[in-house]
Amino acid sequence: MQTIHGKYAVITGAGRGIGRSTAIALAREGVNVALLGKTIENLQSVQKEIDSYGVQSLAIQMDVKDASNVQSAIQEVLQTFGAVDILINNAGIGAYGKFMELTEDEWDNVYEVNVKGVLRVTQAVLPHMIDRRTGDIINISSTSGLRGTEGSSAYSATKFALHGLTESLMKEMRKHKIRVQSLSPSRVITDFGGGKNRLTDEEAEHFMQAEDVADVIVSKLKLHPRMFVKHSELWATDPQ
């Protein structure tokens, strides 16, 4: 496997859950990390956690629903770091309920974050990667984007859309030597959707943890640049 030491990464939704764990895992590998998210206090807390690894870090408040905010945040990253080698599109929200009870506003909100948020951040970063003819983009999806489940029509629809976006972009970017791929975990025990609050510690141990997903992300980034795994589907071994 290749080293990723000294590279520069952008992570959206970096203040908690998979984003936080990925930031720590990358910093441990010597990657400089830009932490982007809506809650600056959470980002600054993660930044303190990775200080001990001796890497450069940025904590930038950013809402993926705000196009001008996204552009200014990425410009700040580029001005400070000078490069972006890795983009982890992790920011996401859920919208759950019976199909006939979910409002159009709820549908619009989850689509704005889970699909158009990825669009905005990726379009802001891609010109730089294309110019350098190198880069890794990993979109964090879900097994809900591979098969629908009762009560998740809006969330599943956005994750299905994200898979289509990812595969199409992957085919466009291969000629530029940019690897675009997606990662679809099943249930991960994070604060997303209040997951931690509904389980005991013993029950939670049967499911994937955020740091497990972060380990997979690191392993994918360390593959030789001549290859990549375009999609990974992750499941807990014994979810009882």
Catalytic residues: 155
End-to-end CA distance of the chain: 34
For the packed helices 67-81 and 117-132, what is the interaxial angle rounded to 10 degrees? 30
CA distance 145 to 159: 4
- Biggest CA pair distance of the chain: 51
Residues 6+ apart with CB under 8 A from 80: 34, 56, 58
Pairing of strands 135-140, 86-89: parallel
